[in-house]
Amino acid sequence: MNSTDPFRATGGDSITAPRTLEVAGPLTIGAAGEITLAGGRIACGSFENVAGGAFDWQAGTLALSGGLDVTSANPLGVVGGGAITATRTLEVAGPLAIGPAGAVSLAGGLLTCDSLDHTQGGTFQGTGGTLRLSTGLTVGGSTFDASGVSLVGTGAKGAKGSSGQNGGEGGTGAGLAVQPGGRLELAAGSAVDLGGGNGGTGGSSSTSLNLDGGDGGTGGAAGALTVSGGTFSVAGTVSARGGAGGTGGSWTGDYWPGAGGTGGTGGQVAVSDGLLQITGALDVAGGAGGNSDQWWGTGGAGGQRRARDGLGRRVGHDRDAECVRRGRRQRRLLAPGLPRR
C-alpha cells in the first residue's frame, strides 16, 4: 500500500467495526501509504511498515498468521507508539521473539501468541492486560516485567463427540521456563494459569444408530514450570491444575450412557537452580474426573514439585495427590428404567 486512500472505500478507508481486511500473504505499507485501524480487524501473513508509512492503530485487532520478530521499540511503526493498550489486540499465531533491541509494551490490551522467547536481552514491560500463550514462555538473560499482567496459558477444551463418539482430549497447558540471568516478575493481584483444557463431552447415545453414549474426553495435562537459573517471583497465585474429564454422553431408551473422562495430570514444578518465589497459592492438583449418568471418571494425578540446592542435591520432593474424585472409576446407582447389563 502506497497511498492514503488505497481502497477508495465509500465513507473512507478506516477499518472500523465490523470491517475486516484479510491478506493471505504479507501486508506492506509503503513510504506514502497510510492505514487506519479503528475498531475493526486486520488479518495478514506478516506486517511490514519500515519505509516511513503511517499505521494509525486507534483500536481493534491486528492478527498475524505467522510469527513476529520484534527488533525495535515500535516494530509495527504505529503512530503515537506501539503499546498494546486497552483498545488494542495483537494476535500472533506463530512464535513471538523479542530481539536485543526489541521492546514490547502490554498496557491494558490483549497479546496472544503461540510462544514467547525473551532470551535475547530485549524488553518486555507489562503494566496491565492479558498475555495469552499456547505453548510457552522462556525468559533468560534479562528481566521480563509482567507486573500488572494476567498470564494465561490454559489448554483448549476438547471437542464434543458426535452421536456415540468419545469426546476429544483437552489441550496441554503452556509451560514457563526461567533460565540463567532471567527474571520473571508479577506483582500483587496478578495471576498465572497454566491449566490443562477440559475434556470434551461424549456424544449422546442414539436409538436410530444403535449406539451407546460416548465417553467423556480425557482432561489435558497442565503446563510445567521450570526454573534452571534466575528468579521467578509472583506476588499472586499460580494455577497449574489438570483439566477436568469430559462428561459422558447421555443415555436414551435401552442404550447406555458414556463414562466420564479421566482428569488431566497437574503441573510439574522443577527448580534446579535459582529462585522460585510465590507469595500466593500454588495449585498443581490433578483434574476432576468427568460426570456421567452411570460412571464417574477417575481424577487426574497431582503434579510433582521438585527442588535442588546449589550443589545439585534434591532438597524437596512433593507430589500433590489432590483430585476431586480419586483412585478408581465409580459406578452410580442405575437411573430409573435403565436396563442392567
DSSP letter for each residue of 95-158: EEEE-TT-EEEEEEEEEEEEEEEE-SS-EEEEEEEEEEEEEEEEE-SSEEE-TT-EEE-PPPPP
User: CB under 8 Å to 42, separation ≥6 — which residues?
Assistant: 15, 20, 21, 23, 27, 35, 60, 61, 62, 63
Quick one: pLDDT at residue 294?
Answer: 77
Euclidean distance between CA atoms 250 and 261, whole angstroms? 13
pLDDT score of 322 more than 50: no
Write the pLDDT tens digit of every residue in 13-22: 799 999 999 9
Euclidean distance between CA atoms 151 and 154, whole angstroms? 10
Euclidean distance between CA atoms 287 and 58, whole angstroms? 41
C-alpha cell belonging to residue 250: 447421555
Nearest to 244 by CA among 166, 317, 324, 304: 324
Write the pLDDT tens digit of every residue in 247-286: 999 988 788 899 999 999 999 999 988 999 988 889 999 9
Quick one: pLDDT at residue 22?
Answer: 96
Write the pLDDT tens digit of every residue in 37-75: 999 999 999 998 877 788 999 999 999 999 999 999 998
C-alpha cell belonging to residue 121: 536481552
Residue 86 backbone zone (phi > 0: left; psi -120 to 50: alpha; other: beta): alpha
